[in-house]
C-alpha cells in the first residue's frame, strides 16, 4: 500500500519520501492523487497541509523532514544546499559555512579539516620562526666567539681585563671620631680592620657607641676625624651601597610594632 520513492532533485542528488502505491487496490477503495505540499494518510483521505521543514511531494502519505543536504522553503519545493552553505535535516534556509571549513554542494555537516589545516600551518610557521631565531642566536654567538679568539690572549692588558672580578673587600678605618657642636667628643681615635672573608661582631653595653661607630664608618653621620680605606684605597663605603646591607637599630621597634599589629588583627579574625 505504501512505498519509499526517490525524489530526483539534481544529478546524483535524491531525497526519499513515503508515497502511496498506485498499483495496490481494493475493490472498496478508490485511489486519488494527493497534491504536493500536502499528505494523505490513506489514498482516499483528504489532503492535510505539510508542516514547515518537511518535504511533501505529490502522493505523500506521511511527512518527512526535508532531507539532509537540502532545504525546503515550502513543503512542496526542495533545493540542493549550495556551495559554501550547509543544510541539516528539516532546514528551510541554508546556513553559512564555518570559517576554514569545507562545504561543497549538498553538505549537511561542514567538515572542519580546514580548521585543523589552519592550526597545523600556524604551528609550522611558529616552529620555523623559533628555529630561525635559534639559528640567528647561534650565529651571533659564534661571531662573538670568533672575535674573542682573534684577540691577542698574550697581551697582559687584555689578560687583566678578562680576569674574573672577585667582590672581596678589606675595610680599614683610622682615627674615627666625632665632636658635637658643644665641644663634646662622643667618639675618638677608633681604628680597626674588617678582613675579607671573616665575620666580626662589635659587642658592648647599651650606650657604648656601637651604633655610632657603624654610622661613622658608613658615613651615615658626619665624621670630625678619621679616614676609611677599601682594599687600601681611601674611599667612602657609600660607593658600594649596592653591595652592603645595613639594618639600623631604629628599624627593630618598627618591625616589632608591625608584627604585633598583624598578630592582633589575625586573632580578631
Bridge partners, residue 4, by sequence: 18
Which of 81, 96, 111 terminates a domain? The answer is: 96
CA-based end-to-end distance of the chain:
83
**What is the pLDDT averaged over residues 70-94?**
90
In a domain, residue 147? The reply is no
Among the listed ranges 29-43, 48-62, 167-181, which one has the minimum average pLDDT value? 29-43
User: CA dist 22 to 9, 64, 111, Å?
Assistant: 22, 20, 41
Domain boundary among the residues 65, 96, 127 is at 96
Q: What is the CATH number of the domain that holds 222?
A: 3.40.50.300
Q: pLDDT tens across 195-242, in order?
A: 888 888 888 888 888 888 888 888 888 899 999 998 888 988 888 777
Selected residue with higher pLDDT from 164 and 121: 121
pLDDT band at 173 (very low <50, low <70, confident <90, very high): very high
Assigned domain for 106 exists: no
Provide the Cα torsion 174, 180, 182, 186; round to 10°: -70
φ, ψ for residue 107, nearest 5 deg? -85, 130
Proportion of the chain above pLDDT 70, given as a percent = 71
How far apart (Å, rounded) are the C-alpha atoms in residues 255 and 181?
A: 33
Cell of 249: 637599630
As given in the structure block, the three cell numbers for residue 80 are 540542493
Mean pLDDT to the nearest integer, 60-84: 88
Q: What is the mean pLDDT of residues 16-20?
A: 65
Output Rg (C-alpha) for the chain, integer angstroms. Answer: 48
d(CA 63, CA 82): 24
The number of beta carbons lying within 10 Å of the beta carbon of residue 237 is: 18
Residue 207 lies in a domain: yes
Instruction: State the average pLDDT over residues 96-106.
Output: 83
Which pLDDT score is estimated for 25? 44
Give how many domains the chain has, as a whole number: 2
- Contact (Cβ atoms closer than 8 angstroms) between residue 77 and residue 50: no
- The boundaries of the domain holding residue 11 are 2-96
Better pLDDT: 253 or 141: 141
pLDDT for the residue numbered 71: 93
Answer whether residue 122 is part of any domain. Answer: no
Residue 61 pLDDT grade (very low, low, confident, very high; cuts 50, 70, 90): confident
Whether 237 maps to a domain, the answer reads yes
pLDDT at 157: 58
Provide the pLDDT confidence category of residue 26 given band limits of 50, 70 and 90. Answer: very low
- Report pTM: 0.37
In the predicted structure, residue 41 carries a pLDDT above the cut 70: yes
What integer is the mean pLDDT of 2-13? 65
The answer to whether the CB of 17 falls within 8 A of the CB of 55 is yes
Predicted pLDDT at 185: 92
User: Is residue 115 one of the residues assigned to a domain?
Assistant: no
pLDDT band (50, 70, 90) for residue 23: low
Ranked by mean pLDDT, which of 108-117, 126-135, 259-268 comes out on top? 126-135
Q: Is residue 227 part of a domain?
A: yes
Residue 265 has pLDDT above 50, yes or no: yes
Say whether pLDDT at 152 is over 60.
no
Mean pLDDT score of the chain = 78
* Domain membership flag for residue 132: no
Residue 20 DSSP SS3: strand
pLDDT > 70? residue 139: yes
User: Looking at residue 113, what is its pLDDT?
Assistant: 67
Residue entry with cell 541554508: 94
Of the candidates 61, 96, 131, which is a domain's last residue? 96
Amino acid at each position: 500500500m505504501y512505498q519509499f520513492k526517490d525524489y530526483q532533485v539534481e544529478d546524483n542528488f535524491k531525497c526519499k519520501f513515503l508515497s502511496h502505491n498506485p498499483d495496490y487496490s481494493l475493490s472498496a477503495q478508490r485511489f486519488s492523487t494527493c497534491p504536493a505540499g500536502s499528505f494523505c494518510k490513506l489514498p482516499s483521505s483528504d489532503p492535510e497541509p505539510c508542516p514547515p521543514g518537511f518535504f511533501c511531494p505529490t502522493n505523500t502519505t506521511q511527512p518527512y523532514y526535508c532531507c539532509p543536504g537540502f532545504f525546503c522553503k515550502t513543503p512542496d519545493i526542495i533545493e540542493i544546499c549550495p556551495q559554501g552553505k550547509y543544510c541539516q535535516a528539516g532546514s528551510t534556509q541554508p546556513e553559512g559555512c564555518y570559517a576554514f571549513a569545507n562545504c561543497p554542494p549538498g553538505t549537511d555537516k561542514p567538515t572542519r579539516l580546514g580548521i585543523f589545516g589552519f592550526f597545523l600551518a600556524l604551528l609550522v610557521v611558529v616552529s620555523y620562526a623559533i628555529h630561525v631565531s635559534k639559528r640567528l642566536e647561534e650565529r651571533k654567538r659564534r661571531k662573538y666567539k670568533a672575535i674573542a679568539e682573534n684577540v691577542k690572549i698574550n697581551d697582559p692588558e687584555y689578560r687583566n681585563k678578562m680576569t674574573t672580578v672577585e667582590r672581596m673587600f678589606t675595610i680599614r678605618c683610622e682615627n674615627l671620631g666625632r665632636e658635637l657642636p658643644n665641644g663634646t667628643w662622643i667618639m675618638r681615635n677608633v681604628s680597626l680592620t674588617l678582613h675579607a672573608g671573616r665575620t666580626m661582631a662589635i659587642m658592648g653595653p647599651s650606650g657604648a657607641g656601637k651604633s655610632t661607630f657603624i654610622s661613622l664608618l658608613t658615613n651615615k653621620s658626619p665624621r670630625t676625624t678619621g679616614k676609611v680605606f677599601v682594599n687600601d684605597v681611601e674611599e667612602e663605603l657609600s660607593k658600594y651601597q649596592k653591595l652592603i646591607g645595613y639594618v639600623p637599630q631604629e628599624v627593630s621597634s618598627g618591625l616589632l610594632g608591625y608584627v604585633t599589629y598583624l598578630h592582633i588583627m589575625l586573632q580578631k579574625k
